[in-house]
């Protein structure tokens, strides 16, 4: 359920980057995406780091970012399989949504629910958003699975986890306690299920439930690609 050999763990899914890549039709290992260096956040000043783009395969990822147990065969327990359940549908859902927009067709609520949570997961799993994720969903870390198997895995999320990279913590400007709270939050949101749906999926359904409050959602599309390098 958790064990696999995926050590290069992306916090923005490769398929998500593919949708914004220079040439999505290229072979997976050859796909590239433009990367920009932020020079001034207030003035929105940035510059292109490489006119050829950077390889998606190693972009926006970190080694064993979500791993919490190491085995003798060099595999680890992590969240990659659970992330994959959503990543596998992002391209299909996005394409379906764009087609419906172009044809001015009604958009199914289930499609929106799935796509919104897949996009929200980009925020939840982003290590540079740890403090914001804790502020938004941190109470989830107070919950525990009732299933004995899941509880045993959940309790492995500890601050003395040797797979937590101290240099990464310095880069992220977070403590071990915050990092573990973040991992526990991810666990609760994407692993625990109620009636076949994860806590995260149920959260999205709740905030988009128009029967209890007004929901306004705007969808924007563009007719052509616009790219401009600022130096």
Q: What is the pLDDT, as a whole number, of residue 212?
A: 84
Relative to beta strand 76-77, strand 69-70 is antiparallel
The CA-to-CA distance between both ends of the chain, in Å, stands at 46
**C-alpha–C-alpha distance, residues 113 and 168, integer Å:** 33
CA dist 69 and 56 (Å) reads 26
pLDDT of 228 reads: 52
Per residue in 181-226, pLDDT tens? 999 999 999 999 999 999 999 999 999 998 888 988 888 877 766 5
pLDDT value, residue 231: 43
Paired tokens of 217:
């959602």
The pLDDT score that the predictor gives to residue 225 is 64
* DSSP 8-state code for residue 228: -
The DSSP bridge partners found for residue 130 are: none
pLDDT profile of the chain (231 residues), mean per 10:
96 94 92 94 92 95 97 97 94 92 91 95 97 94 94 95 96 97 98 96 93 85 61 43
8 Å CB contact between 138 and 131:
no
pLDDT in the model for residue 128: 97
Of 140, 161, 117, 126, nearest to 9 by C-alpha is: 126
Token readout for 13 is 């899914």
Cβ atoms within 10 Å of 116's Cβ, excluding its own:
17
Q: What's the pTM?
A: 0.90
């Amino acid at each position: 359920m958790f064990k696999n050999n995926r050590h290069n763990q992306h916090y923005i899914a490769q398929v998500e980057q593919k949708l914004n890549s220079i040439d999505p039709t290229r072979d997976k290992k050859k796909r590239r995406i433009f990367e920009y260096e932020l020079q001034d956040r207030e003035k929105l000043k940035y510059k292109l780091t490489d006119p050829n783009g950077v390889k998606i395969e190693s972009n926006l990822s970190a080694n064993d970012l979500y791993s919490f147990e190491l085995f003798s065969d060099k595999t680890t327990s992590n969240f990659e399989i659970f992330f994959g359940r959503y990543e596998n549908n992002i391209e299909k859902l996005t394409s379906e949504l764009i087609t419906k927009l172009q044809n001015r067709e009604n958009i199914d609520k289930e499609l929106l629910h799935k796509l919104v949570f897949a996009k929200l997961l980009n925020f939840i799993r982003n290590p540079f958003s740890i403090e914001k994720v804790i502020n938004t969903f941190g109470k989830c870390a107070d919950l525990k699975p009732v299933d004995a198997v899941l509880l045993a895995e959940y309790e492995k999320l500890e601050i003395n986890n040797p797979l937590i990279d101290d240099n990464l913590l310095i880069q992220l400007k977070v403590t071990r306690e915050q990092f573990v709270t973040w991992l526990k939050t991810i666990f609760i949101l994407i692993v625990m299920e109620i009636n076949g749906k994860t806590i995260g999926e149920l959260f999205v359904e709740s905030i988009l439930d128009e029967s209890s409050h007004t929901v306004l959602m705007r969808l924007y599309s563009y007719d052509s690609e616009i790219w401009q390098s600022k130096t």
